[in-house]
Structure 1
Amino acid sequence: MQKNVMIYGSCVSRDAFQEIGAGYDLLAYVARQSMISALSQPTALLPGDPLGSASQNRSLTADIKSSLMQQLRRHAADIDVLVIDLTDERPGVVALPDGSYVTNSHELVSSGRLEMVPGRKPVINVATERHWTLWESAANRFFKALTSLGLMEKTIVLSTPWAEVTENGEPVEEFQGRPTAEMNAYFGECCAHIRSLGYTVLNMPEDVRYAASDHKFGAATYHFGTEANSWIAAQIRGAANVAVQSRK
């Protein structure tokens, strides 16, 4: 029986899905869209020319339109497993003059669109008090909406603390100079809050938490190796099997 998966997260989940095997359909993949941005009102302040990469253009356009909830409503009836990871919260968000928020992604910055918007556009960095206030509010609304859509029992949240070394023990460069331990502590608080809302949070074992030195995009704190991908794939398969059994 075919199993339907939707991912709201990052390459952490997407890379693992590629190893999951036959019998699984990826209904939708929403990436580079902070929960703050996703639960914000869409903005009309950021028109511009398409980016050179089709995938980057799609993700930027989707973030500007705050597309996540629309995607969830479209696919809710067909989803067997909704996979969430928080890695794409890492760049923080930009507060726009119209009261909306967008993810401070590489795609947004490189597009030059922010430079065309007059007025203050402060960046709200992750692991700050202001970010936590905004993120907690967005998370409360998001998970309440998932419950209303009947997705609570079908959702798994992956807690994937970042790696400090590669499989060879070589140190991995910190993300934008932010200490990895600090980032892991913050995302740990986010996952604890999600768990307090009654949602399933799965903790990646420490012994598989290393960066792949041969990752196609280079070694990074969140570019995990084969063992981590296998663990994530196993969590998705397990959740999908439970969902399929509940169909019967």
Structure 2
Amino acid sequence: MKLAIFGSCVSRDVVRYLPPETELVSYIARSSIVSAVHATPYLGPKEFGPSIGAFEARMIKHDLEKTGLSTIEKSNPDVIVIDLIDERFRIYHFANTLVTLSAKIAKEKLGLEIKKEGKVVPLGAELYETFSRCATAMLERLSAISGAKILVNEAYWAEQYVSGGDQLTYSDIAQIRSTNDQLKQYYDILRGVIPGSNFIRYEGILLGDPDHVWGAAPFHYTPAYYEHLAGKIIQLCEPVRRPSPAINN
């Protein structure tokens, strides 16, 4: 099975729980759908400091150059998994385009310039309308990939985390609930385009894992989440699974 992901680590981290013949052929993160769909690339300099690793630089360039969707298209996936966790980043009007100000770029010279010279897209009805239009355009484009099945990983921020066997509530619970309310509106927009049967949502108590490989965060979950997600992907994609050419069967 050739897998593509447009989203975040909440979907990327499931790969280790999928069958060994699964091939991650493309992964686009750190980009809002609104920015990714925008037709105009940022043409200015894109030089980053030593704190930006190869992966982060690649993701930032995909967002700035608007190459994320074409990268997925060229990878010819069997399955495309979408999640909206990275919609947490703010979007800016900058240099005649739209850009996603992810956490890493925000600390770079270019990110500081974006915040100073750009104009943030405010949260509210106008952004939801723009998101709806852009999400529809993105899904129509990805749906044109021959044989590809689109799944939506309906991921939210966890309200609780595990600590010493106990389940404790995050201190910033108000922000988490506000973010989840926004995410729900976004997922409802996708549900208007993608059949509900193509959505995957964790059915247990969503818990953050302080010992997660990427560190503690409300969207870094305990292993049960990834095990559940992997099982659902396998269940929903059984008809389209195909072995990698490198695997002998």
Q: TM-score range by the shorter chain?
A: 0.7 to 0.9
Superposed CA offset, 1:86-105 (max 9, x none): 1011112111141x111110
RMSD: 2.2
Which amino acid in 1 is paired with 2:136? N
**1:21-100 paired onto structure 2 within 5 Å:** 21-40=19-38, 41-49=40-48, 51-52=50-51, 53-76=53-76, 79-98=77-96, 100=97
Correspondence for 2:153: 158
Give the unaligned 5+ runs of structure 1.
Answer: none
- Take 1:24 and 1:39, find their aligned partners in 2: how far apart are those partners? 27
Which amino acid in 2 is paired with 1:147? S
Question: 1:173·1:220 contact (CA, 8 Å) conserved in 2?
Answer: no
Percent identity of the aligned residues?
21
Residue 227 (structure 1) shift: 0.6
Q: 1:106 aligns with which of 103, 106, 129?
A: 103
Q: 1:6 aligns with which of 4, 7, 10?
A: 4
Correspondence for 2:145: 149
TM, length-normalised to structure 2: 0.85
TM, length-normalised to structure 1: 0.86
Residue 120 (structure 1) shift: 4.1
- Take 1:109 and 1:47, find their aligned partners in 2: how far apart are those partners? 13
Superposed CA offset, 1:97-145 (max 9, x none): 41x11111012211221444697412225x5333212211110111111
Correspondence for 2:129: 133
Secondary structure of 1:179's counterpart equals helix
- Take 2:50 and 2:128, find their aligned partners in 1: how far apart are those partners? 31
Greater Cα shift, 5-14 or 111-120: 111-120
- Take 2:50 and 2:237, find their aligned partners in 1: how far apart are those partners? 35
Correspondence for 2:246: none
Which amino acid in 1 is paired with 2:213? K
Which amino acid in 2 is paired with 1:80? D
Give the unaligned 5+ runs of structure 2.
Answer: 243-249
Task: List 4+ stretches of structure 1 deviating above 6 A.
Answer: none
Correspondence for 2:239: 242
Q: 2:176 aligns with which of 159, 174, 180?
A: 180
Q: 1:178 to 1:141 in 2, by over 3 A?
A: farther
Report the number of matched residues. 235
